[in-house]
Amino acid sequence: MNPEEAAAKPNPIEQFELHRLWPFEIQGIETSFTNASLFMLIAALGVVALMVLATSKKAIVPGRVQALAEMLYEFVAGMVRQTAGTEGMKFFPFVFTLFSFILIANLIGLVPYTYSVTSQIVVTFAFAIVVISLVVLYGLYRHGFGFLNLFVPHGVPLPVLVVLVPIEIISFLSRPVSLSVRLFANILAGHITLAVFGGFVVMLLGAGVWAALAPIPLLAIVALYALELLVACLQAFVFSVLTCVYLNDAIHPGH
């Protein structure tokens, strides 16, 4: 395949490539401002803008933006209470910020010609490391070495504990991997699928007599886009509810 043909062929992975917008290094360490950095900043500003607009009037009868913010607030607050208990509400600002950022970042990624930062494993893994680090630090701060009871189920015979404790430790250490890969893989797979079906439409339109079949993948794109909208919201919820589950382990480490 010559370079011209390769350039003309649709590449579903191209949308996930990092591009330096402002190259910069500090003592040989890459600190460039990339397209991922830009859209993370946009997502963060989106969360701030939503909250500022929602709380600017503080109307008794809320408008649309205020009603949306209040719905998000009550949704996340209910999720924290049900999963981590009343004591878990001390982590509400963290969970609410995490949920809002991931949700807006996912939704921004569905806009054509934007960039989906949650399709980058390094970004989702950084979120997961922050969550697990908070769980461990708070668990040790609150319970001391009693936090290690998380790995020792009550009422289990000693011979079984010899096998079960290592399994519990491995399970705990795998949490940041599963937490990050779940979000990354779902967003990545959905965007690649949309790009592939979009490529089918383009190829069929340029295939002469086969152009009449182009509406088939086009309709599939519409259906997939609706599904991706649901996935964008669902994955923000799943990441946040699992965060609450792990925080509950730090609050109540006993089995």
Q: What is the pLDDT of residue 2?
A: 47
Q: What is the pLDDT of residue 153?
A: 76
- What pTM was estimated for this model as a whole? 0.86
The answer to whether 250 touches 136, Cβ cutoff 8 Å, is yes
H runs (alpha helix) in 60-174: 64-84, 92-109, 121-143, 158-173
3-state secondary structure of 109: helix
Radius of gyration of the chain (CA): 23
Query: What are phi and psi for residue 52, nearest 5 degrees?
Result: -65, -45
Give rounded-to-5 percent helix, strand, coil for the chain: 80, 5, 20
Ramachandran class of 33: left when φ > 0, alpha when ψ lies in -120 to 50, beta otherwise: beta
Q: How many CB atoms lie within 10 A of CB 194?
A: 20
pLDDT block averages, 10 residues each, the chain of length 255: 49 76 79 88 93 81 83 93 90 94 93 89 94 93 85 78 87 92 91 80 67 72 88 94 93 74
3-state secondary structure of 28: coil
Cα 247 from Cα 233, distance rounded (Å): 21
Q: What is the pLDDT of residue 7?
A: 46
